[in-house]
Structure 1
Amino acid sequence: METSKRKKNILFITILSVVGLIGAMALQMIWIYNSYELIKNDIKNEGYATIEKALEEEGNMRFGQTPKGTRIKSGPTNDTIPPMTYFYEQLSDMGYPMSLHNLDSITAELLTQNRLGNQYYIDIINLRTGEKINGIGTQKEPSFMAIKPKYFPIRSDYTQVVQLIITNPNKTFLERMGLMLAGTFIIMLLVIVCISYQVRFISCFEKIFQIREDFSYAMIHDMKTPLTSIIMALKFLRSGKLDNRQEMKNKYFDIAENEADHLLTLTNKVLTISKLENHKLEMNKTEVELTPIIEKLTEKFKAKSQKTVNFITDIKAETAYADAEYLEEVLSNLIDNSIKYSGESVEIRISIARDDRYTVLKVHDNGFGISDKDIHLIFRKYERASAVKRNRRNGTSGFGLGLNFVDQVVEAHHGKIFVSSIEGEFTEFTIYLPLIES
């Protein structure tokens, strides 16, 4: 129930984050679009002012060619007919037609001054018929972003209007919106990174919760068996039924003691790993005699294992610079794993050698081996717990502390550990422990 509720909450937070990201991007796009429209409108107004000024200057050049004392009368004006329309019209009627080349030169100069680009076209159009009368400019074909300011009539009957077309204003837009676009990109990138990190963090959090549940399940399951054995042994001993059967009584005492020792070992392992990870555990390293440790472990596992176990030892180095207690526990874990993950007949080869830098310990078995996809995971903490259901099917138990403990202890010795395996054939662990440190 708690897992289902947590998953729903995580899914809700993830969906909310994604919706928030989409909403933020949508608002940003609306803001950019509105800014684009405002700048586009500004360019239209500036373009109209540019062509108006260009026409004025071109008209003044023509007026300078008229006889001295020439007067030009104005006419009625409104929102669409500027006062100077009559000025251009009468100049043309007086025999001083518009010079497109002069208008082109003036327009090009003004557009450059106003930073509106240099790609444009000027059309002379009969607005009544829609016919294009003439045109001039640097680029005839407009881009999809071309801007057309409103036309400027040069005859009061609209038979001739001038329209400036800024055919490619991309550079102008980029100059005016560049800083905003860069800021928007950076902000959106930060938002995406933050939400991605949040989703990833939530996913990791969910995985941690799952591992915790699996670990709790595995630990309770594996501790339940020795506790049950201890309780049953104590009940038999307490009942008095074994008072006259000393051999059987001693056997039940041994069961209770071994299972209690097993529980204590598991508890100490958890505490040791915690101390190692927090760098609070010191290794008491000395020159350790290896032969007694190997003999002790081989006898122990031969006696306690229900499988047929055959040990082959090859000891070419008598000592190692290590903490005796933890080194024994490391080898015990590796041997225990070899027996767990093997068939009914187990062969374990233990070899010890030395080079000029390390004491090299190897534990090789003929067990089930490790698959390629799992071999890089075996030293992870609680990795066995996260696969507890699979473990139950193949008959093994544990919750992922053994090999992590081995890895941590070897690291605390400033050593290295490697594993090689072929699934279905063998597994070999190799430990390198540095020689005595100066």
Structure 2
Amino acid sequence: MKIRIVILLSSITLLLIFSFQGIGMYHAYKSQVSRTKYFFSDCFERAFIEAMDGQVNSLPLADGTYTHLIYAPCRLRSVSEEVNGLLFYGAQQTSAILQKIYHMDELPLAVLDSILSCKLQQKQLEGTLTLRKFNAGTGETLEMTSSHIPVGSNVFVSKQAFLYKEKGIAVQAYFDATFLGGTRELLAFFIVTLLSVAIVMFAFVRQMQYIIRQRQSIKEQRENYCALAEKIELPVTEMLFRIPISDWKRIEERSASLFGETEQILSKAKVEEQSLRKRKFLWNMFSFISLPGSLLLVLLWAGYLYWDNLDRVKYGLSVHFGNAFYKEVKHRADLAVSASGGEIKNPADTVSYSPYYQRQAKAIFDFMEESRIPMYWRSISIQRDYYGYAENQYLTIAYVLQDAINRYSKVAVPFSLHYLDSLCQESFGHLFETGIRVLRYPSKEVMDYTGKPSPSIWDMRTDLIPLDRDSTVVVEGVMYAPCRMILASIWYQLLPLGLLFIFICVCFFFLLRILQTQRRLKQFQKDFTYSMIHDMKSPLQSVMMGAHVLSGGKLTGKPEKVEKYRRVMTDECEHLLMLSNRVVMLTQLDRGELELHKEEVLLKPLLGDIAEKFRLKAVKQVLFEINCKEGCTVYADAFCLREVLSNLVDNAIKYSNEAVMITLSGEKTDDSATVRVRDNGIGIPLREQHKIFDKFERVSSNSRKIAASGFGLGLNYVLQVVNAHGGMVKVESIEGSYSEFIIHFPSFKNV
């Protein structure tokens, strides 16, 4: 029943944990869908802008020539609020102008497909890309990069970008993300961890089943022993009767029969123990591999989530910092234009405005003056010699503007660190602590900074952005302690992982407890087997061998040796009979069938008789001290009282050093009689004192410095007999110092 409860509770706990994990993965999936949708749309817009810039730079005009203006009303939300607003809107105007004014061919889909594919790879977005050119008015497909338009829940569709708006010709991208970026890894981690935890649970359950089987084996061995102990009473009594009449043949037959039954029980226990040992080794090894493996998987999973989101945060930081840098450069450009009284350009440049640019500029500025409608506008020029195209288009524009300011501005406009810092704080909404460092390159010497001069390894830094054409001075953005933001963004995934980690640690703790229990049961079984050999098999073997020698007539004419054999056989038979009687009496006590013949027993003579008996048979130095008044009596069954005190004295001798001092005390009051047995032996550990009265329990020989044989029935017998008399027994002991057993018997009038 217990194992079923454990399995049920564990299964419910795992179900809840994986339910939380499933919910977390669903949120992660939805978040990934949202991010993929954003990144795909952003990549498409940037790819279209870059493709159009490439088209402009392919015009047969001089470098730096202004070809046209792009413009849009300020009230247009797609221009004012979106990241690539004006540039994407203007790129569509550029496409139409290049075809209409400069008579260029329409942008090939292959070019756009190549640029967009590269950008998707940079964002680690995997899937199938399809571009479609179509008539926006009729919906008719004019050209496609694949045979069909993909459909499905993981298909993302970009905005449409007009190649020629007057004709209604537009292009659109479709991205089929079969496995969203990161989702495949998360799913793989989830499945592997689920299987690993299932293996842990299976191994855990098997370990518990092993313990149950081990306990059942010990219980069966106990029952077989008790049955055999009860069974030997009559044969042993018969052997005792036949020893004086020298019926050695019959004694040999009886002892051989009992010896065979004892050997059979021991052999069966040995086979069962070997079988359990093989299973134990297998499942122990299995458990100690699966548990650390599961913990490692959980840690790897958590680490993957953290580093994956760390990359995303770093990308977001770079984008925001790049946009803030663009605004700072734009601010410097406006100041330079205002201070110079005109545009910033190379004085050596000749006329660099195309005729169309001049006509278009005049028309746009006249329109704004007449209509009073504010417009966003930007001049488009041929720029073939700037630093190289950056991933962020605004950063590319910033490079061009900054180069123009540094080279051609009539008034020096220095870089404003604090203005850039305020833009960064505004961009992040003051939610995170950020800073900026101006460095000398390549020495990385700090020239100026906001925030902290030296970021720690836990802080996040952007790529270096040059402040001059030679890149001798660079600037970088810093986000301090981004781990809080990262953990806050993935808490719903880390929470079930934390619960799973705790669950596996609890399993590991209980596995250690199980292993301790296995070792304890193994030691118990080992001690029990040893005791069975010592207390049952060896005496039977001695009787059997003695009867065999005597029946062979080898000792004829040697009465001293015959008498010695006879005495040894008698002692062994009495030992077996005492063992049998004890088991029978315990069985009767368990069933409530024991009949006690109580009487007032004189205590001092009884204590003296017991002391003399053990003094004579002891193999070590034993000293007795008796403290009992003459006439002190105990109201008890005389036989049972003798057995109880003999058990306690026998234990005192067993669990002692080379010499032992035993004090036997007795006193009587009107209400009760108290008997004490105290020794100066090795004592009983406090942790084991509560269980020494249990049946078949013995203080482990590992925990004692002195090994002693026995089945662990003696103290249980003492407890049962004293309880049957209506009394009580307790123990006081200090390990390494002494043990004292105190027995209280009620007086006759209180019974």
1:19 aligns with 2:289: yes
Equivalent residue in structure 1 for 2:713, among 389, 392, 401? 401
Gaps of 5+ in 1: 240-251
Map 1:108-147 → 2, pairs under 5 A: 108-113=425-430, 115=431, 117-123=432-438, 135-147=448-460
Structure 2 counterpart of 1:430, one-letter code: I
Structure 2 partner of 1:247: none
The worse-fitting range, judged by mean Cα deviation, of 48-57 and 230-239 is 230-239
Please give the secondary structure, in 1, of the residue aligned with 2:426. helix
Structure 2 partner of 1:79: 389
Structure 2 counterpart of 1:82, one-letter code: Q
Quote the Cα distance in structure 2 between the aligned partners of 1:105 and 1:346. Answer: 88
Structure 1 counterpart of 2:425, one-letter code: A
Equivalent residue in structure 2 for 1:45, among 315, 322, 332? 315
Number of residue equivalences: 413
Measured at CA, do residues 147 and 345 of structure 1 come closer, stay the same or move farther in structure 2, by a change above 3 Å? closer
**Contact kept? 1:316, 1:352, Cα under 8 Å:** no
User: Which structure ranks higher in relative contact order (CA pairs < 8 Å, sequence separation ≥ 6)?
Assistant: 2
Q: CA deviation at 1:153?
A: 6.2
Q: CA deviation at 1:152?
A: 5.0
Please give the secondary structure, in 2, of the residue aligned with 1:141. coil
The superposition leaves residues 199-237 of structure 1 with CA deviations (integer Å, 9 ceiling, x where unpaired) of 432343133223213322322332245545766898999
**Contact kept? 2:681, 2:736, Cα under 8 Å:** yes
The superposition leaves residues 309-341 of structure 1 with CA deviations (integer Å, 9 ceiling, x where unpaired) of 989443676445x78775553223224446778
Measured at CA, do residues 44 and 355 of structure 1 come closer, stay the same or move farther in structure 2, by a change above 3 Å? farther
Please give the secondary structure, in 1, of the residue aligned with 2:379. coil
Q: CA deviation at 1:39?
A: 1.7
Quote the Cα distance in structure 2 between the aligned partners of 1:182 and 1:275. Answer: 58
1:103 aligns with 2:420: yes
Q: CA deviation at 1:144?
A: 0.8
Gaps of 5+ in 2: 1-269, 343-364, 366-375, 553-564
**Contact kept? 1:284, 1:323, Cα under 8 Å:** no
Q: TM-score, structure 2 length as denominator?
A: 0.43
Q: CA deviation at 1:5?
A: 7.8
**Contact kept? 2:467, 2:474, Cα under 8 Å:** yes
Q: CA deviation at 1:104?
A: 1.3
1:333 aligns with 2:644: no
Measured at CA, do residues 311 and 139 of structure 1 come closer, stay the same or move farther in structure 2, by a change above 3 Å? closer
Map 1:16-415 → 2, pairs under 5 A: 16-58=286-328, 66=338, 73-75=379-381, 76=383, 79-80=389-390, 82-83=393-394, 84-85=397-398, 86-87=400-401, 93=409, 95=411, 98-113=415-430, 115=431, 117-123=432-438, 135-152=448-465, 162-176=475-489, 183-224=496-537, 226-227=539-540, 262-267=575-580, 269-270=582-583, 280=590, 288-291=598-601, 306-307=616-617, 312=626, 313-314=628-629, 318-320=633-635, 327-337=641-651, 350-354=664-668, 359-364=673-678, 369-372=680-683, 379=692, 381-383=696-698, 386=701, 398-407=710-719, 409-410=721-722, 415=728
Structure 2 counterpart of 1:145, one-letter code: W
Q: CA deviation at 1:410?
A: 4.9
Q: Choose 1 or 2 for highest CA Rg.
A: 2
Structure 2 counterpart of 1:121, one-letter code: I
Q: CA deviation at 1:142?
A: 0.8
The worse-fitting range, judged by mean Cα deviation, of 83-92 and 31-40 is 83-92
The superposition leaves residues 8-33 of structure 1 with CA deviations (integer Å, 9 ceiling, x where unpaired) of 76455444433333323332333233
**Contact kept? 1:140, 1:167, Cα under 8 Å:** no
Structure 1 counterpart of 2:318, one-letter code: Y
Structure 2 partner of 1:248: none
Q: CA deviation at 1:165?
A: 2.4
Measured at CA, do residues 8 and 99 of structure 1 come closer, stay the same or move farther in structure 2, by a change above 3 Å? same
Measured at CA, do residues 326 and 120 of structure 1 come closer, stay the same or move farther in structure 2, by a change above 3 Å? farther
**Contact kept? 1:123, 1:162, Cα under 8 Å:** yes
Structure 2 partner of 1:249: none
Structure 1 counterpart of 2:449, one-letter code: I
**Contact kept? 2:596, 2:637, Cα under 8 Å:** yes
Quote the Cα distance in structure 1 between the aligned partners of 2:304 and 2:734. Answer: 64
Measured at CA, do residues 329 and 125 of structure 1 come closer, stay the same or move farther in structure 2, by a change above 3 Å? same
Quote the Cα distance in structure 2 between the aligned partners of 1:33 and 1:26. Answer: 10
The superposition leaves residues 132-156 of structure 1 with CA deviations (integer Å, 9 ceiling, x where unpaired) of 7964321121111232223456778
Which structure shows the higher helix fraction? Answer: 2
Q: CA deviation at 1:433?
A: 4.8
Quote the Cα distance in structure 2 between the aligned partners of 1:224 and 1:101. Answer: 95
The superposition leaves residues 177-216 of structure 1 with CA deviations (integer Å, 9 ceiling, x where unpaired) of 5565565444334323322422432343133223213322
Measured at CA, do residues 45 and 433 of structure 1 come closer, stay the same or move farther in structure 2, by a change above 3 Å? farther
Q: TM-score, structure 1 length as denominator?
A: 0.67
Quote the Cα distance in structure 2 between the aligned partners of 1:186 and 1:208. Answer: 32
For the aligned residues, what is the CA RMSD?
5.5
